[in-house]
Chains A and B, each alone.
Chain A
Amino acid sequence: MAGIVELVTMIAKALVDEPEAVVVTELEGEQTRVYELRVAKDDMGKVIGKQGRTAKAIRTVVGAAAARDNKRAILEIVE
């Protein structure tokens, strides 16, 4: 589903200083989908947050979105 890619892109772009550097890709697996979120090096902290709170919040929201079609979703944040 393209929806989650757009969702993660929208959230990430709203949080970072360099929205142009935000790239989200999707890897389809048997029961899970893996989403890779790429942001500029200096923006890593913004999408992860203090004690990973922002990353956790994004994962929770992505999880709820993936529940819509009974899939598990994993969000990875890569540099």
Chain B
Amino acid sequence: MKEAEFEGKTVEEALLKASAELGFNISDMTYEVLESERGLFGFLGASVRIRVRVPEDETPLAFRKEYVPGPGDTNLAEGLAAADESRARGDFPIIGRQPGTDAAKVNKAIETVEQLITGMGYQAKVSAKDTPEQILINIQSEHNDVLIGRDGEVLAALQFLANKIVNRFPDDRKLVVLDAEGFKDRRETALGTLAKRMADKALTTKRVVRLSPMNPQDRRLIHMALRDHPGVSTKSDGDGNYRCLLIIPNILEEAGQPGRRGR
């Protein structure tokens, strides 16, 4: 672990300096505020001193090709949020994501998905996009219908296995998400429509609507679609493969009659 102190008008500014100097993305650094002077109007003449820590045994991003000079993070807001979050958790000395391991992980993810698909006897072009939260893998193939499967079950199975294989060791897990030519978008639209229709049904019948069992990703999409719906609330009920989503009209909720047990 390497430590260094930086100063700036704001914490952000100090972090940016640290990023530029040390060659690490902000999201890969942890920091603590040593001194903070408010100054006039909270900004003029204000100064902040922070101590930044970066992992010592890793090559700084500056020496790797994906480093973007200047503000280390391609998405500054995300980097700042990640640094703030690790500070809020109080895990100051713990470095979360280790720079340097990600590129290897992305390659491993691409390789794993390619091996699975060729092993199944199909050909596909596999590409990846690395984001701070997940590795997004896109599959392009003539056989997309088979690789997606009914309700996306084959794609979900491939995603599950790819995650098991890529994140075999508990350190530095990163979610691998599979998509095949916009399947996820189409699914989101389709489930959104279903969600609206079922919410209307719940409202007109004044009864709880129980959808058929779905995988967590699909349930999440429906929860999201109805999150801002004024008349209904959603919850999941059941276990494992049988877990399904309930749409509850608010009239029932207020009457103290929620739809059975569940989270």
Contacts and interface: CB of A to CB of B under 8 A. Distances in A.
B138 to A, nearest CB: 18
Interface in B91-127: 112, 115-116, 119-122
A61 B121 contact: no
Contacts of B112: 14
Nearest to A61: B157
A63 B147 CA distance: 11
B146 A54 contact: no
A59 to B, nearest CB: 8
Interface residues of B, number: 22
Do most interface residues of chain B lie in helix, strand or loop, or is the interface mixed?
A: helix
A60 B157 contact: yes
B157 A56 contact: yes
Interface stretch (A26-34, A35-43, A64-72): A64-72
Contacts of A21: none
Nearest to A63: B154
**A: interface residue count bin:** 20 to 34
Interface of B: 112, 115-116, 119-122, 146-147, 149, 153-154, 156-158, 160-161, 164-165, 168, 240-241
Interface of A: 1, 3-4, 6-7, 10-11, 14-15, 49, 51, 53-54, 56-58, 60-61, 63-65, 67-68
Given A10-B115, A56-B241, 16 more contacts: A3-B119, A4-B121, A7-B116, A7-B119, A10-B119, A11-B119, A11-B165, A14-B168, A57-B156, A57-B158, A57-B161, A58-B157, A61-B116, A61-B158, A63-B154, A67-B146
